[in-house]
Amino acid sequence: MIKYFLIVNKQGQTRLSKYYEHVDINKHTLLETEVVKRCLSRSNEQCSFIEYKDFKLIHRQYAALFIVVGVDDTETEMAIYEFIHNSVEVLDEYFSRVSELDKMFNLDKVHIILDEMVCRIVETNRERILAPLLILYVRNQAW
Amino acid sequence: MALTVVSQIFPREMIPAVLPLIEDKLQHSKEIIRRKAVLALYKFHLIAPNQVQHIHIKFRKALCDRDVGVMAASLHIYLRMIKENSSGYKDLTGSFVTILKQVVGGKLPVDFNYHSVPAPWLQIQLLRILGLLGKDDQRTSELMYDVLDESLRRAELNHNVTYAILFECVHTVYSIYPKSELLEKAAKCIGKFVLSPKINLKYLGLKALTYVIQQDPTLALQHQMTIIECLDHPDPIIKRETLELLYRITNAQNVTVIVQKMLEYLHQSKEEYVIVNLVGKIAELAEKYAPDNAWFIQTMNAVFSVGGDVMHPDIPNNFLRLLAEGFDDETEDQQLRLYAVQSYLTLLDMENVFYPQRFLQVMSWVLGEYSYLLDKETPAEVIAKLYKLLMNDSVSSETKTWLIAAVTKLTPQAHSSDTVERLIHEFTISLDTCMRQHAFELKHLHENVELMTSLLPVDRSCEDLAVDASLSFLDGFVAEGLSQGAAPYKPHHQRQEEKLSQEKVLNFEPYGLSFSSSGFTGRQSPAGISLGSDISGNSAETGLKETNSLKLEGIKKLWGKEGYLPKKESKTGDESGALPIPQESIMENVDQTITKKDQSQVLTQSKEEKEKQLLASSLFVGLGSESTVNLLGKADTVSHKFRRKSKIKEAKSGEASSTHNMTCSSFSSLSNVAYEDDYYLNTLHDRGDKELKTFSLNSELLDSESLTELPLVEKFSNCSLSTPSLFADNSMEIFHPPQSIAASVAKESSLASSFLEETTEYIHSNAMEVCNNETISVSSYKIWKDDCLLMVWSVTNKSGLELKSANLEIFPAENFKVTEQPGCCLPIMEAESTKSFQYSVQIEKPFTEGILSGFIRYHMMDTHSAQLEFSVNLSLLDFIRPLKISSEDFGKLWLSFANDVKQNVKMSESQAALPSALKTLQQKLRLHIIEIIGNEGLLACQLLPSIPCLLHCRVYADVLALWFRSSCSTLPDYLLYQCQKVIEGS
């Protein structure tokens, strides 16, 4: 089960965080900094899976951004690893060459996209993920 | 969007409110809505599985949805449900296999492909489900072989996601019932993973290997070299995973190497979770496979020094137990112990080394117990070392307690005891009460060397010593306390009873001390025998902390036929019970010399003896009388009810049969009392008097109780006869005798009509003569069967002549549906015989009162036919049956019903309390009491055939607020009317 989904940059600033299991809000920052520290300390030669406390972190780097997903041991690491890539592809498609700034200024849309995809791994079909967002977008234009 | 929110954050309480809405959405035309609805249901299933139980069928529909997304979403629910109970879904294996086959075969729309792999996550999900389904089940597994083979074959593309699928495949192949071909292929896959240069794949391979190796250790041999490479891998995560793998393949031969590797890793790692985890594993391996003593002790030393205070407390405890209990071989044990002692002494000799507290505790225990094995060093030297540690500021007070205990144990062996005296001197003024207590114990023991040696025998830690559980040695103390005016101890529940009954039986306010001491008993476990646990439950009882901690090591509980015989390690015993007199004297000395606080300590200590002693002897009588007082209070109400009932009985037609259900209920209240008494006895029982003597006391008490009850129930002599026997048996079948009585009563009243005997399990009314003439008389009963009302008319032929073709007919009535039971038309009716006709009556719509009328037609011998009309009153209550549901179901139903009626009813004085009011409702209206929560009660009933009605009651002052809800609009009104009648009328 996916416990949280984080997007952080290389400076360790959290760009987006979504929790799928209740974590005390005061602990968010603490957890995030811990997680980021660990991910940043990993080199490319080391594998993308880290054990942290009782769950696993799966991280993947895209330019200056890290995407980190925390899962428990019922998930297959590799599947999640690819799932991260899938989500990036979707974002890429929507924002056409996604960048950190895109995510910062369109946080709502990123959230909608993730809502469509995650809960467990729910939807992986790119067009379908974007469908509701496009509807919303079109309506916004109409107003 | 709303559905998304629902599936992410949602309180459990609101589920019933939105559930129907979401169920609707499952039929929505847009697949995205359907998918979201399924996800919302999944969420509900996660947080409250029982609330969505009834819609499992809908999940099946979702699984068969034409849209892939919806189907995929439903898989989450299935994965979850199958995990909980795989056997229930075996029938779906076929569907899952077909789905997977379609997915793997590329039958899905192209846009589901991810890097030209068709819906990889869906595949993974399905494989997971199949793995769960096929576990240890050959038949189900056979269905999957093909598709698994196919997936393995298809997933040969070189892409990460296919590796994920392969991994899942391998996992599944190894979890289901094995098939050699598949296993072979899977093993090949693993080989590919492990050998891959890509680090992520290597990780995956190791993980798979770890899993596989439990079933097939030979596979590890093939990859030996890779594993060893991984062991020296720069990435700690890989290393960690490799260790995990090694842990699984450990055996007696390779344990040294593996543990060595683990320890190396342990020394490098700084993370707490890893340490805790690894330390546990090493300790387990060391215990299981240790090749020799030296190695074992050294490993454990390493474990303790690294693991330190974060490790699981079981580890040191297990270690100490192992040392204490030893193996089969005595010399081996001695060597082990000797080695341990020696190694600890050398460790302690080193300067400026800090050991974790746990390690020090272990050391002190071992040194205390086994130092005598040493030849070279005298106990005095050991004591000196311990003393040095004691003076160390970095040692926690808990550890100091352990240390002092060790010193105490060593003292009798040491003859020159300067250090001991210095220590005593030092710690009798310690601010820590616990330490002070120990110091005083040591001091007194030190003054009396003879006693000390007998108390602290050498190497006896494992030998169990019987402890006087009844604590009879404290009788004197208690007697003294009693003579000084202290209130006799009463069990907690009894005190509550007294408060409840609001009888000022005993005023124990003035005796603050004894009150506070008895206050502690509330916290004691009722099983109260395990002295250790009693003490630990007692915060004031710091003095015995040592006992408390020592207890961890050698205590054994033995269960015997007569109850359980608590036996303790001699150490524990000598502190608290084995040698009672010295202990008491110590305690008294202590409290005289020190403070009031300690005095209360003694009192708390005394309280348990008191408790037991009182239970065992003097107070038992008091208790007996107490409970009779209680009983009388209760019995009064019982008799009261009883009288009321007997009045009713008279009002009705005198025969016992009419009230036999009432009898039942009054009986049940009697047996409630009986239950409570049983409860007393059992708890008393538990409290440690398992001796036969107390048993006889019990039965005496029983006798007295049953005697007090006898007058109350004398009308039912057979009942009261059965009571003592019930008591004596302590049996739970209290409800049985009433039944048999009921049966016998029923027999009497059945007017010899044969069928009644069959139906005695149902409650039935008395016979009522509805009409008669010179030849026949007709009487009727109602039998309240579970599914209908059975009307029985029994026709008695009073004349001496034979009647021909007697025929009973019922006029159709608008509210009823009457069904004839077989045998309603009799060709011949002999002289002076009784025949009966049965009709089952069902209600068609609610009403309060109705009349069922009919006639009987018969032919006399002289062929003239006669007709006799009759009618019977039926009330709504004849069709009300208790609805036995749980509170949860109640909650669900409550929300689903639209029709509600509220009304406040003033209660008469006799039933001002909620339980009694509800009892009345239960008895008179046949409502089922689901639960009573505080001043609220939940009841349920159903109107035949199946219209449920729920009732929620709340009491304030003498007003009972009734709130009915039902699916039928009129039923609540009628029921309310009946309730009002019952409650106001009585």
Place of tokens 């137990």: B321
The mean pLDDT of chain B is 64
CA distance A100 to chain B (A): 24
Chain B hits for A83, CB-CB cut-off 8 Å, are 121
Q: Cβ of A92 under 8 Å from any chain B Cβ?
A: no
Chain B hits for A82, CB-CB cut-off 8 Å, are 114, 120, 160-161, 164
Instruction: Using CA coordinates, name the residue in chain B closest to A54.
Output: B273
Per-residue pLDDT reduced to its tens digit, B662-671 = 333 334 444 4
Residues B885 and B859 in one domain: no
Q: Give the CA angle between residues A90, A95, A97 to the nearest 5°.
A: 85
Residues B866 and B785 in one domain: yes
Per-residue pLDDT reduced to its tens digit, A87-127 = 888 888 888 777 778 777 888 888 888 877 776 666 667 77
CA distance B455 to chain A (A): 47
**Residue A49 to residue B160, Cβ atoms within 8 A:** no
Per-residue pLDDT reduced to its tens digit, B58-108 = 777 777 777 777 777 788 778 877 877 777 777 777 888 888 888 877 777
Residue B786 counted as domain residue: yes
Q: Give the CA angle between residues B764, B768, B773 to the nearest 5°.
A: 145
Q: Cβ of B35 under 8 Å from any chain A Cβ?
A: yes
pLDDT reported for residue B325: 65
Residues B846 and B908 in one domain: no
Which of B39, B44, B113, B114 would you mutate first to test chain A, the one with the most A CBs within 10 A?
B114
Q: Cβ of A137 under 8 Å from any chain B Cβ?
A: no
For B562: left if phi > 0, alpha if psi spans -120 to 50, otherwise beta; the answer is alpha
The CATH number that applies at residue B852 is 2.60.40.1230
- CA–CA separation, B626 vs B116, rounded Å? 83
Residues B783 and B871 in one domain: yes
* Percent with pLDDT over 70 in chain B: 53
Instruction: Using CA coordinates, name the residue in chain A closest to B241.
Output: A51
**Residue B167 to residue A76, Cβ atoms within 8 A:** yes
* DSSP characters over B890-955: HHHHHHH--EEEEEEEEPPGGG-SHHHHHHHHHHHH-PEEEEEETTEEEEEEEETTTEEEEEEEEE
Chain A hits for B7, CB-CB cut-off 8 Å, are 119
Contacts with B486 (C-beta within 8 Å, 6 or more apart), sequence order: B511, B513, B514
pLDDT reported for residue B476: 62
- DSSP code for B540: T
Which of B200, B272, B273 would you mutate first to test chain A, the one with the most A CBs within 10 A?
B200
**Residue B168 to residue A120, Cβ atoms within 8 A:** no
Residue B977 counted as domain residue: yes
Instruction: Name the band, by pLDDT with cuts 50, 70 and 90, for residue B910.
Output: low
Mean pLDDT of B705-725: 39
More confident residue, B172 or B333: B172
Structure tokens at B926: 């046949």
Q: Cβ of B4 under 8 Å from any chain A Cβ?
A: yes
- In angstroms, how far is the first alpha carbon of chain A from the final one? 39
Our count of domains for chain B comes to 2
| Closest by CA position to B324, among listed B546, B535, B550, B547 | B550
Q: Is the confidence at residue B545, as pLDDT, over 70?
A: no
- CA–CA separation, B880 vs B965, rounded Å? 15
Per-residue pLDDT reduced to its tens digit, B185-219 = 777 777 777 777 777 777 878 888 777 777 776 77
Mean pLDDT of B805-819: 71
Query: Residue B778 burial (CB < 10 Å; 0-12/13-18/19+)?
Result: buried
One-letter identity of residue B945: P
Chain A hits for B151, CB-CB cut-off 8 Å, are none
Q: Where are the domains of chain A?
A: 2-141
Q: Cβ of B9 under 8 Å from any chain A Cβ?
A: no
**Residue B200 to residue A48, Cβ atoms within 8 A:** yes
pLDDT reported for residue B504: 43
Chain A hits for B167, CB-CB cut-off 8 Å, are 76, 78
Residues B919 and B964 in one domain: yes
- CA–CA separation, B948 vs B927, rounded Å? 11
Mean pLDDT of B853-880: 74
Q: Is the confidence at residue B333, as pLDDT, over 50?
A: yes
Chain A hits for B125, CB-CB cut-off 8 Å, are 121
Instruction: Name the band, by pLDDT with cuts 50, 70 and 90, for residue B848.
Output: low
Enclosing H/E stretch for B348:
helix B330-349
Q: Is the confidence at residue B499, as pLDDT, over 80?
A: no
Q: Is the confidence at residue B875, as pLDDT, over 70?
A: yes
CA distance A45 to chain B (A): 7
pLDDT reported for residue B497: 60
Per-residue pLDDT reduced to its tens digit, A6-50 = 888 888 788 888 887 777 778 888 888 888 887 777 776 677 777
Q: Which of A7-11, B4-8, B113-117, B697-701 has the lowest mean pLDDT?
A: B697-701
SS3 B872: strand
Mean pLDDT of B594-617: 43
Q: Which structural domain range is residue B903 located in?
A: 880-985
One-letter identity of residue B294: A
Q: What pTM was computed for the model?
A: 0.49
**Residue A47 to residue B199, Cβ atoms within 8 A:** yes
Structure tokens at A104: 């910062």
- DSSP code for B568: E
Q: Is the confidence at residue B963, as pLDDT, over 80?
A: yes
Within 13 Å, how many C-alpha atoms sit on residue B270's CB side? Answer: 0
Q: Cβ of B119 under 8 Å from any chain A Cβ?
A: yes
Mean pLDDT of B150-156: 73
Q: Cβ of B120 under 8 Å from any chain A Cβ?
A: yes
Residue B369 near residue B349 (C-beta atoms within 8 A): no
Q: Which of A46-60, B357-371, B822-836, B932-946 has the lowest mean pLDDT?
A: B822-836
Put simply, the chain A residues between 45 and 84 with a CB less than 8 A from any chain B CB are 45-54, 76-79, 81-83
Beta bridge partners of B841: B789, B818
- How many CB atoms sit inside 10 A of residue B847's CB? 16
- CA–CA separation, B613 vs B618, rounded Å? 8
Helices B138-154, B160-175: inter-axial angle, 10-degree rounding = 160
ω before B945 within 30° of 0 (cis)?
Answer: yes
CA distance B237 to chain A (A): 6
SS3 B845: coil
Chain A hits for B164, CB-CB cut-off 8 Å, are 76, 78-79, 81-82
- Sign (positive or negative) of CA dihedral B377, B381, B382, B388: negative
Q: Cβ of B39 under 8 Å from any chain A Cβ?
A: yes
Highest-pLDDT range among B448-462, B541-555, B573-587, B847-861? B847-861
B763 vs B141, B391, B658, B756, B918, CA distance in Å?
53, 80, 9, 11, 20
Residues B867 and B900 in one domain: no
Q: Cβ of A1 under 8 Å from any chain B Cβ?
A: no
Number of helical (H) and strand (E) elements in chain A, helices listed first:
5, 5
Per-residue pLDDT reduced to its tens digit, B342-361 = 777 777 766 566 667 777 77
The CATH number that applies at residue B904 is 3.30.310.10
**Residue B202 to residue A47, Cβ atoms within 8 A:** yes
**Residue A47 to residue B112, Cβ atoms within 8 A:** no
Instruction: Name the band, by pLDDT with cuts 50, 70 and 90, for residue B586.
Output: very low
Chain A hits for B8, CB-CB cut-off 8 Å, are 20, 115, 119
| Closest by CA position to B385, among listed B409, B358, B407, B356 | B407
Instruction: Name the band, by pLDDT with cuts 50, 70 and 90, for residue B505.
Output: very low
One-letter identity of residue B742: A
- CA–CA separation, A141 vs A139, rounded Å? 5
pLDDT reported for residue B303: 74
SS3 B432: coil
Structure tokens at B163: 């590796």
Residue B924 counted as domain residue: yes
CA distance A65 to chain B (A): 20
**Residue A51 to residue B204, Cβ atoms within 8 A:** no
Within 13 Å, how many C-alpha atoms sit on residue A66's CB side? Answer: 27
* DSSP characters over B767-835: PEEEEE-SSEEEEEEEEE-SSSEEEEEEEEE-SSS-EEEEEEEE---SSEEEEEPS--EEEEE-TT-EE
Residue B678 counted as domain residue: no
- How many CB atoms sit inside 10 A of residue B347's CB? 16
Beta bridge partners of B966: B899, B949
Residue B595 counted as domain residue: no
Q: Where are the beta strands (DSSP E) in chain A?
A: 2-9, 14-19, 49-52, 55-62, 65-71
Residues B873 and B948 in one domain: no
Residue B171 near residue B152 (C-beta atoms within 8 A): no
Confirm or reject CATH 3.40.50.12280 for domain A2-141, answering yes or no.
Answer: no
Residues B774 and B871 in one domain: yes
**Residue B120 to residue A82, Cβ atoms within 8 A:** yes
Buried b (16+ CB within 10 A) or exposed e, B573-587: bbbbbbbbebbbebb
SS3 B429: coil
* Percent with pLDDT over 90 in chain B: 0
Domain boundary among B810, B842, B877: B877
Instruction: Name the band, by pLDDT with cuts 50, 70 and 90, for residue B579.
Output: very low
Chain B hits for A49, CB-CB cut-off 8 Å, are 200, 203, 237
Residues B774 and B849 in one domain: yes
Chain B hits for A52, CB-CB cut-off 8 Å, are 273
Query: Residue A137 burial (CB < 10 Å; 0-12/13-18/19+)?
Result: middle
pLDDT reported for residue A20: 79
**Residue A77 to residue B203, Cβ atoms within 8 A:** yes
Within 13 Å, how many C-alpha atoms sit on residue B971's CB side? Answer: 26
Contacts with B464 (C-beta within 8 Å, 6 or more apart), sequence order: B556, B558, B567, B568, B569, B570
Chain A hits for B235, CB-CB cut-off 8 Å, are 45-47
Residue B964 counted as domain residue: yes
**Residue A79 to residue B114, Cβ atoms within 8 A:** no
Chain B hits for A86, CB-CB cut-off 8 Å, are 114
ipTM: 0.84
**Residue A124 to residue B120, Cβ atoms within 8 A:** yes
More confident residue, A81 or B663: A81
| Closest by CA position to B925, among listed B881, B966, B883 | B881
Contacts with A123 (C-beta within 8 Å, 6 or more apart), sequence order: A116, A117, A129, B35, B69, B72
Mean pLDDT of B628-642: 37
Chain A hits for B119, CB-CB cut-off 8 Å, are 124
SS3 B171: helix
Residues B843 and B939 in one domain: no
Instruction: Name the band, by pLDDT with cuts 50, 70 and 90, for residue A139.
Output: low
Residue B24 counted as domain residue: no
- CA–CA separation, B317 vs B306, rounded Å? 17
Enclosing H/E stretch for B490:
none
